[in-house]
Amino acid sequence: MPFRTPKLVVALLLSLLAAPVSALQLEASVKPLQLVAAALLEGISEPGLLVPPEASPHHYALKPSDMRDLARADLVVWVGPELELFLVKPLQQTDARLLQLMDGDPGASMAAEDHHEHEGGHHHEVDTHLWMDPVLMLEAAQQMRDALTEIAPEQGPALNANFERFAAALMAKDRELRQRLSPLADRGFFVFHDAYGRFVSHYGLRQLGYFTVDPGRQPGARHLSEIRGQLQEKAAVCVFSEPQFRSAVVDAVTEGTGVRHGELDPLARNITPGPDAYLQYLDALAGEFERCLKP
């Protein structure tokens, strides 16, 4: 359907044809948010995705096909202008309902909740990688459920049942991961891109620093030599890079230090959307931390 057809007409046509009604179309900006949505929409519809996981939400431009998906969407879920700046203008042109998970004022944002103590070190801007925190994603799922229920009240019971199932499974997974990761609390590591802070603080891991805040920008020479100094002092046991940025700089800095290499995927490229996909994603992150940090 290249053109936007009035919804009433669509509904009439579909009921005449007795075709399956694809009532609820959700578009997520980044894949981990799509995975949360897939749990909520299980048996109802399949959520779409705007930024492919091999791209970066820090630097992305929408394609014409993305604009069509936005025009068709009932609900668009995104973090906010601090992360997906490229969405600000396109979202002004869609009738879709918008769910912005982080609002401009950090004081009023769900991202600024007090269950996150900043552990010494970097106090720059607010960390926009909200999906690294299972508690924030539970809240996001609740907000998605409420917004979708207002759009399609007839799906309310199904959405709520899916939410309850997701919430229980997520809390169980969270407890499991906490147990698995707690023995690693004193194992220092560096990450390539500063995307994991919320996971790290939620599970009490010991991140010593990162190479870059913006994965599209190369870290400075002085910063690199500081990291190299810490690696030579054996402060860290592992350096994590990521598949989106296979960085020569990480290889150069770690060369000869004997530090292990890990790879964390912030955008869940190997995870297939489905009811348990977000749990699998958390599990995969935890598994890689375990593999690289274990004594």
Coil, helix or strand at residue 99: strand
Residue 158 as a binder of Zn ion (CB under 5 A): the answer is no
Interior angle at CA 206, CA 133 and CA 110, nearest 5: 25
**How far apart are the C-alpha atoms of 74 and 147, rounded to whole Å?**
10
Residue 36 as a binder of Zn ion (CB under 5 A): the answer is no
Residue 132 as a binder of Zn ion (CB under 5 A): the answer is no
Coil, helix or strand at residue 238: strand
Residue 39 as a binder of Zn ion (CB under 5 A): the answer is no
Closer to Zn ion by Cβ: residue 197 or 262: 197
Sheet holding 188-193, edge to edge: 206-212, 188-193, 238-241, 260-263
**How far apart are the C-alpha atoms of 262 and 130, rounded to whole Å?**
22
Tell me the closest approach of the beta carbon of residue 56 to Zn ion, in angstroms: 7
What x-and-dash track marks residues 179-218 binding Zn ion by CB under 5 A?
A: ----------------x-----------------------
Interior angle at CA 105, CA 148 and CA 83, nearest 5: 65
Are the C-beta atoms of residues 191 and 264 closer than 8 Å to each other? yes
Closer to Zn ion by Cβ: residue 42 or 265: 265
Residues touching Zn ion: how many (CB under 5 A)?
1
Coil, helix or strand at residue 117: coil
Residue 38 as a binder of Zn ion (CB under 5 A): the answer is no
Tell me the closest approach of the beta carbon of residue 70 to Zn ion, in angstroms: 22
Closer to Zn ion by Cβ: residue 44 or 245: 245
CA-based torsion, 192, 193, 194, 195: positive or negative: negative
Nearest position to Zn ion, beta carbon? 195
Residue 30 as a binder of Zn ion (CB under 5 A): the answer is no
Tell me the closest approach of the beta carbon of residue 83 to Zn ion, in angstroms: 7
Closer to Zn ion by Cβ: residue 76 or 195: 195
Distance (Å) of CA 136 to CA 133, 225, 250, 278: 5, 35, 30, 13
56 torsion bin: left (phi>0), alpha (psi -120 to 50), beta (else): beta
Tell me the closest approach of the beta carbon of residue 214 to Zn ion, in angstroms: 8
As given in the structure block, the two tokens for residue 163 are 């939410």
Closer to Zn ion by Cβ: residue 30 or 158: 30
Tell me the closest approach of the beta carbon of residue 194 to Zn ion, in angstroms: 7
Closer to Zn ion by Cβ: residue 170 or 195: 195
Residue 99 as a binder of Zn ion (CB under 5 A): the answer is no
Residue 259 as a binder of Zn ion (CB under 5 A): the answer is no
Closer to Zn ion by Cβ: residue 59 or 294: 59
Contact residues: Zn ion, CB under 5 A: 195
